Amino acid sequence: MEKQFLMGNQAIGLGAIRAGVRVVAGYPGTPSTEILETIAKNNPGDVYVEWSVNEKAALEVAAGAAYAGARTLVTMKQVGLNVASDPLMSLAYVGVKGGMVIAVADDPGPISSQTEQDTRHFAQFSKLPVFDPCSPEEAYEMIVDAFAYSEKYHTPVLFRPTTRVCHGCASIQVDGERQDHDPEGFVKDSSRWVIFPRLSFQNHKMIEGRNPRIGEDFSSYRFNELTGSGKRGIATGGVSYEYTREVLGELTPKLLKVATPHPFPEKLALEFLDGLDEVLVIEELDPVIERELTYLCGKHHLNVTIRGKLTGDIPPAGENTVESVREAVSRFLELPYEAPELPELPSMPIRPPVLCAGCPHRASFYAVKQAMKGKKAVFSGDIGCYTLGNAQPLDMVDTCLCMGADVTMAQGLHRVEPDAVNFSFIGDSTFFASGITGVVNAVYNQTDIVLIVLDNSTTAMTGHQPHPGTGITMMGDVSQKISIPTVLEAIGVKHVATVDPLDLKAAIEAVKEAAGIKGVSAVIFKSPCIAVTKPAGLFSVDEGKCIGCQKCIRELGCPATTMEGKKAFIEPSLCYGCSICAQVCPVGAIGGDQK
């Protein structure tokens, strides 16, 4: 045993190793990414770890290993579970042999996601148990329990930390001893592993009988807790429990901590409700615990008022904070509350998120913009760093919905306005994750779209994970690089051009040519992410030549360029030497190590 200062995601990863996990698959996504990376980094030697091509593939890889009796872990962020929901729903019916934990990190706020969806609903929808840790320390212990419950009930279980648990840090007693779980191997049994309507019907009945038993079991689960006394009670779960404890200090109202929101620990909750007049439910995202308690009051004819998000006592969206909980608890317990006086902050310049200085995506967007000047064109974007192409002055992302949707939405847009040129911008990692089927759809249905693949040879936004186009796996093996042009040509895309976007003239010409072709045409802008390459050299402005027209600033928006008086200036600590500003300047005032 030794104490280590760990981030929540590291604690979850080390906890899974301690539980004897043997196969780990996932798809990167904030705030979940470091769970899998921690396991890869601390691999005791017998754990297979992979970044799968997407969350659906990850869940299916893990399901196969769990059928063969291995303890398996899947990692993803909350929107990833939408992608993996097809196998998830069926797997919930079929069940598993080896313990299988599906770690899905929720993102209240949201801080880095498209939605504020609540994975506890997915647990109810799929009828799977869910564990909801309140802190990194608890997550370290709880993931071991999650594997045990999975095996006890032969079902995959969900494990749902939120951002503050994933990215918060704590000193944790780490147990070097590992549980031994040698997989038995796959035992053929088509009546168990092949899903047919008859099996689904039988297993559905079995699940409806089993889940109340799990709920009963959860009533005595070590991390579900009931403390305190009085006529007013507080129910909470996840990180909100920690905030509530901090706010309550020495106060001891009746307090219910729900660590397993589904199946709901009804017996424990009834003990909590017994003798209460009023309850305040403090939770993030949706009113899951609140609805369960309201239902229980109705079912058991309890005259208890339940307050929370549904009654407007807790904000319906966004994160809770210690201060927001303090305000709600003070109101509920009729305690004096004074909003803290916050020091007046000095006015700061507004810094909207922008593409990095020197990012090749800036050049790609600029090239398309120049090529389409004066033409009717719609630009569908996707999820990744390049969503930032929507910012001024580029303004090159007209739609963004979810992973892969740029390719297919462009097709729908084109059906309504065939006189427009419809572009879809997709990153290399997203192309493999969920773009290929969209291209097949376009070729098959003979739609005119221009596919722009922004290939920077990494999964940049989540921290530079490898993907099928990089030729490196998470186990550190060199594998076959899957070539995007070869995939596109094999699908039937007739025109595929690969260009360096930092060669602006060639890039603009390539886009013009692709835009004039009927059917699906593709331009692959290939240039590595500047965060994993060395700067190409510094560029600077020759003050004598600069005429102060600001074209370099107004058209590109590179954070390294600014005006000093009447002349442009390049901040040397930011410039990456991409050379685009030099190619844009009308009087050749910018120079440096030209590419």
Annotated binding site for [4Fe-4S] cluster: 546, 549, 552, 558, 575, 578, 581, 585
Amino acid at 288: V
* Amino acid type, 465: Q
Name residue, tokens 């999975």: 150
Nearer to ligand SF4, 203 or 370 (CB): 370
> Smallest gap, in angstroms, from Cβ of residue 528 to ligand SF4?
14
* β partners of residue 422: 378
Region 216-275 residues binding ligand SF4, contact defined as CB under 6 A: none
**In 10 A of CB 3, how many CB atoms?**
9
Of 557-576, binders to ligand SF4 (CB under 6 A) are 558, 560-561, 568, 570, 575-576
Query: Of all helices (H) and strands (E), which one includes residue 571?
Result: none
d(CA 225, CA 448): 59
The verdict on 579 binding ligand SF4 (CB under 6 A) reads: yes
Give whichever of 54 and 561 is closer to ligand SF4, judged by the CB atom. 561
Evaluate whether 198 touches 204 at the Cβ level (below 8 Å). Answer: no
Residue 563 beta carbon to ligand SF4: minimum distance, rounded to whole angstroms: 7
Q: By CB under 6 A, tell whether 549 contacts ligand SF4.
A: yes
Q: Is 504 in the site for ligand SF4 (CB under 6 A)?
A: no
* Distance from the Cα of residue 22 to its chain's centroid: 23
Q: State yes or no: residue 585 binds ligand SF4 (CB under 6 A).
A: yes
The CA distance from 349 to 353, in Å, is 13
The CB-of-87 to ligand SF4 minimum distance in angstroms stands at 43
- Which residue number, 293 or 541, has a Cβ lying nearer to ligand SF4? 541
To ligand SF4, the closest distance from the beta carbon of 354 in angstroms equals 11
Identified binder of ligand SF4 from the candidate list 105, 500, 577, 595, rule CB under 6 A: 577
| Whether 399 contacts 360, CB under 8 Å | no
- Beta carbon nearer to ligand SF4, 195 or 549: 549
Looking at the Cβ atoms of 230 and 535, the one nearer to ligand SF4 is 535
| Nearer to ligand SF4 among residue 395 and residue 417 (C-beta) | 395
**Nearest to residue 425, comparing CAs of 464, 459, 392, 384?**
384
51 contributes a contact to ligand SF4 by CB under 6 A: no
The interface region with ligand SF4, picked from 205-213, 249-257, 368-376, 545-553 by CB under 6 A, is 545-553
Distances (CA, A) of 148 to 14, 67, 502: 16, 16, 53
The verdict on 580 binding ligand SF4 (CB under 6 A) reads: yes
By the rule CB under 6 A, 539 interacts with ligand SF4: yes
Decide: helix, strand or coil at residue 88: helix
**What is the gyration radius of the CA atoms in the chain, in angstroms?**
27
What is the 8-class DSSP label of residue 52?
A: -
Q: Toward ligand SF4, which CB reaches closer, 267 or 551?
A: 551
- Closest to 47 in 3D by CA, of 8, 10, 73, 67: 73
For ligand SF4, the closer of residues 438 and 577 by Cβ is: 577
Does 304 participate in binding ligand SF4 (rule CB under 6 A)? no
Only one residue has tokens 């040509």, namely 489
Residue from 15, 98, 358, 438 touching ligand SF4 (CB under 6 A): that is 358
Give the residue among 544, 541, 550, 593 at the shortest CA–CA distance from 571: 541
**Is 108 among the residues that bind ligand SF4 (CB under 6 A)?**
no
Q: How far apart are CA 130 and CA 151, in angstroms?
A: 14
- Site membership for ligand SF4, residue 357 (CB under 6 A): yes
Give the H/E segment covering residue 306.
strand 305-307
Q: How far is the CB of 548 from ligand SF4 (least distance, A)?
A: 5
- SS3 (DSSP) at 496: strand
The footprint of ligand SF4 (CB under 6 A) covers 357-358, 539, 541, 546-552, 556, 558, 560-561, 568, 570, 575-581, 585, 587, 589-590
